Amino acid sequence: MSMEKIKAAIRDIPDFPEKGIVFKDITPLLQDAETFREAVDELCAPYRENPPALIVGIDARGFIFGAAMAYRLGTGFVPVRKKGKLPHVTVSADYTLEYGSATIEMHEDAIPTGTRVAIVDDLLATGGTLAAAADLVKRQGGQIAGISVLIELGFLSGRDKLPGETIHALISY
């Protein structure tokens, strides 16, 4: 399967969630078993030779890919959630995105010091969410093995908020 088939399974939804935003809808990709499996395999590719100990998946679509990657690579999974959704004591980070601001959290004991992790989300846009997740990992003493996303919106320059990080994007717009 080619990246073109994966890219073709992503549809544009104009003016969602706000006017002027073109939302990249991944639900058609998720609905097609072969395409979803190929996308997960491609997201795992940079880590096959030296898997991280943990995959950190960002709420909510990062959970889909991150959990599948953790299963495929034989690693643990750590959820990074929107504020107020985790039951145990948390650490938090604020961030801005293309249409607002928010806070994400992780359990304070999620990343043992020195643990190699890969951070996963569906989209790298302005970089705020991924930079906040990277901050949470580093504050707990984790080492970032890489950041993987299905889609990168390069015109928003999100990589600029992640200096020094290795970023793997399957599809770039």
**110, pLDDT greater than 70:** yes
Q: What are the structural domain ranges in the chain?
A: 50-172
Q: Are 154 and 173 in contact (CB under 8 A)?
A: yes
Mean pLDDT along residues 138-147? 98
The pLDDT of residue 53 is above 90: yes
- Enumerate the H helices of 114-173 as residue ranges: 128-139
Q: Which residues contact 84 (CB under 8 A, 6 or more apart)?
A: 105
The rounded percent of the chain whose pLDDT value lies above 70 is 98
Q: Does domain 50-172 have CATH number 3.40.50.2020?
A: yes
* Spatial distance between the Cα atoms of 90 and 71, rounded to a whole number of angstroms: 25
CA dist 138 and 113 (Å) reads 9
Give the model confidence (pLDDT) of 14-36 as tens digits: 999 889 889 999 999 999 999 99
Q: How far is residue 109 from each of residues 33, 79, 118, measured CA to CA in Å?
A: 34, 12, 17
Would you place residue 11 in the very low, low, confident or very high pLDDT band (cuts 50, 70, 90)? very high
For the segment 59-77, the average pLDDT, to the nearest whole number, is 98
Least confident of 12-26, 29-43, 58-72: 12-26
Mean pLDDT (the chain) is: 96
139 is known as an active-site residue: no
**Is residue 43 within 8 Å of residue 65, measured between CB atoms?**
yes
Among this protein's residues, is 98 annotated catalytic? yes
Catalytic residue among 98, 116, 159, 165: 98
Among residues 61, 81, 105, 152, which one is catalytic?
61
